[in-house]
Structure 1
Amino acid sequence: MNIKAVKISLYVCIALFITSCADKPKDVIMRANTGFALGTTYSIQYEIFDEKEDYKNDIENVFFEVNQSISTYIRTSDISRINKGEKDIVIDDYFKTVYEFSREVYEKTDGYYDPSVGALVNAWGFGPEKPINNLNKQQVDSILLFTGFDKVRVTKEGKVEKDHPSVTFDFNSLGKGYAIDLIGEMLDKKGSKNYIIEVGGEILTKGINTSKSKKWFVGIDSPIQDEEERQYIEYITLENKAMATSGNYRKFRIDPITGDHYVHILNAKTGYPMKNNVLSVSVVADNCMKADAYATAFMVMPYEKTKQLLSELKDVDAYIVSKDEQGNMQTYSTKGFQDLIIK
């Protein structure tokens, strides 16, 4: 399973910056902020009520606080210190939230979603630590001995207990979505009624695109194209919803010794990069952390098991792109997702 904060990019198919003032209601002003955070870019457009208002510092502060809690790329973050074996750290609300939701998804997916794969992520070369070149089965099996969300717990005092000191957390599979939700909460408190938040392709929307008096809409990237290409297979509308996409067709690592290609989505049950016919999964949910986590989970779960779980999750919809036996692209989508597709 991929626990790294790089996923397939969703491109916002709206004019975020080039809009006609004449199209806007007179009492609505939209502010746009862009930048770099969480190892990727962000683009956020939100409603303000005074030309002087600009929430970029507030946005950057959200990214900073989330990083200090759950970024494995910051050596002094809480998660990095816990991964190193420090036992006296009392987790903050950020860590607690992602931990508890990870536990929920872990249980609902029968362990296919598992943020304790940090050591495997590092070993395969997709984390902050030096990879193990020419990784062999014995080494993978040894790492699996201390992989598993059932091997960790949080005490009443808010401290993490591990069955093995080498258990390593990695919440990157939902950390980006969680940060987006926090930015949305911040904008809500500021009184913004209409916004779209995009970070590395993950998206959260509220209200409408006031510049066009229409719902926000986004495009789903085609997984069958060259890296330099930009083709979309569907466009959907989003209103007060979040969407995240996960895939295994562009992000990979080449072993410098063997020349083997390893995709970045790892299976916590086997310890190996995923090998299946699913190319990408786009998930729509009521918050981005949920969409983010399930998009990753559905890339790892067996195809039929994913469809079964989707039938049980009433607040999660998905669009799955896969290959048939002849290598042709095929799609599956839930009824709720189909209703969002722009015909």
Structure 2
Amino acid sequence: MRLLVLGGTSFVGRAIVDEALRQGIHVTLFSRGITGTDLFPDVPRLIGDRDTGDYTALRNDHWDAVVDVSGYVPRHVGQAMDALGDRVSRYLFISTQAVYQRSGIGPGADEDTPRRPPVRDTEELTEATYGPCKVACEDDVVARYGPRATIVRLGKVAGPHDVQHGLVYWVRRASRGGRVALPTHPDQPVQLIDSRDAARLVVQLLLDGRPGAFNAIGPAEPITISELITTCAQVAGTEVEIVPVPAAPPTAFFPLIQPDPLWPTQQRSSARARAVGLTSTPLAATIADVLTWDRERGEPPLDHGLSPAEEAALIAGA
């Protein structure tokens, strides 16, 4: 198989390329050539820019499949499809759980859950526009490629090289041990998928030539936020006491925390994806790998969470 990856040098894209190479797939990368220049030295690279619409490098070859990791707005996806035309046999688009409506759903919602209305009149990605822009992208891919289109809707992704640091804060905080401030109910559900499980699903769908939409979410068994933090501590060899606290200061963003009305968004079904090959790395293994990676890179400052002094003050006032 000859595979073109639009992106492929940051987190999820990197995991997909790793998995594809592991399975003997011939990969070509298309990117700006700015990030991850030291990665995959033996993989051919085509240079272009989605923001400026420079897809010239894609016009002189063909591929069995393309994985679009970096398409966020309809213009990006539309221009890529125009450049590729019929010189690609399958278009797999990496989407998001944010495409789904957030109200009126219950636990176990699947890929047939109603999506949010598509948005095409902005390229400013915010909480209100990110999901609807992805809906528009999905629609355009399906309209162009029909049964040759595959959509993978990622949930919260965790693993080494996580640029959004969704799990990193809790891994780092639990490794310090002690009393942990939790600005939500301890039973809040959490869904995390290891980036390598997502990558294995993507590659399997390509090898099978399978169309349709798939929820790439995990773990296989439901977990709560308190169980997640406790597991982080167990992996790090520490002990923690979880202390529910009132809402944190507005300036202190906590990853993976959801208000009560959105808890069903962390209880979606992955049955369709698991039936076609989605694997589930044990949560403790993902946490251990994140802990090792974070320490090896020197634990750079995070732009969210609380300092130890802020956390102690919040706990004292609980």
Taking structure 2 as the reference length, the TM-score comes to 0.29
Relative contact order, higher structure (CA 8 A, sep 6+): 1
Judging by fraction of residues, say which structure has more helix.
Answer: 2
Judging by fraction of residues, say which structure has more strand.
Answer: 1
